[in-house]
Amino acid sequence: MTVTIAELAHALEARSWGDEALEVTGAAEPGATQPAGDRGGVIALAMSPKYAETLKPGCLAILAEGMDPEAYGLRAAIFAPRPRLVMAGLTRAFDTGPDIAPGIHSTAVIDPSARIGEGAAIGPFVVIGADVVIGARARIASHVSIGRGSRLGDDALIHPGVRIAHGVTAGDRLIVQPGASIGGDGFSFVTPEESGIEEIRRTLGERAEIKAQHWTRIHSLGGVEIGDDVEIGANSTIDRGTIRSTRVGSGTKIDNLVMLGHNVAVGEDCLLCSQVGIAGSARVGNRVVLAGKVGVNDNIEIGDDVIAGGASKIFTRVPAGRVILGNPAVRMDTQMEIQKAVRRLPRMAQQLAKLQETVTRLLEKG
Strands (E), 178-325: 181-184, 189-190, 216-217, 224-226, 231-232, 237-239, 246-248, 253-254, 259-260, 265-266, 271-272, 277-278, 283-284, 289-290, 295-296, 301-302, 307-308, 313-314, 323-325
Inter-axis angle of helices 5-12 and 83-94, nearest 10:
120
Tell me phi and psi for residue 12, to 5 degrees: -90, 0
Contact yes or no for 63/80 (Cβ under 8 A): yes
C-alpha 109/C-alpha 104 separation (Å) is 10
- Provide the 3-class DSSP secondary structure of residue 43: strand
| DSSP code string of 332-361 | HHHHHHHHHHHHHHHHHHHHHHHHHHHHHH
C-alpha 110/C-alpha 104 separation (Å) is 9
C-alpha 327/C-alpha 357 separation (Å) is 35
C-alpha 337/C-alpha 4 separation (Å) is 53
Contact yes or no for 88/12 (Cβ under 8 A): no
- Whether a cis peptide bond, with omega within 30° of 0, leads into 49 is no
The radius of gyration of the chain's CA atoms, rounded to the nearest angstrom, is 28
C-alpha 43/C-alpha 80 separation (Å) is 13
Contact yes or no for 45/51 (Cβ under 8 A): yes
Largest CA distance in the chain: 98
Active site residue 166: no
**List 10, 143, 166, 262, catalytic entry:** 262
Active site residues: 262
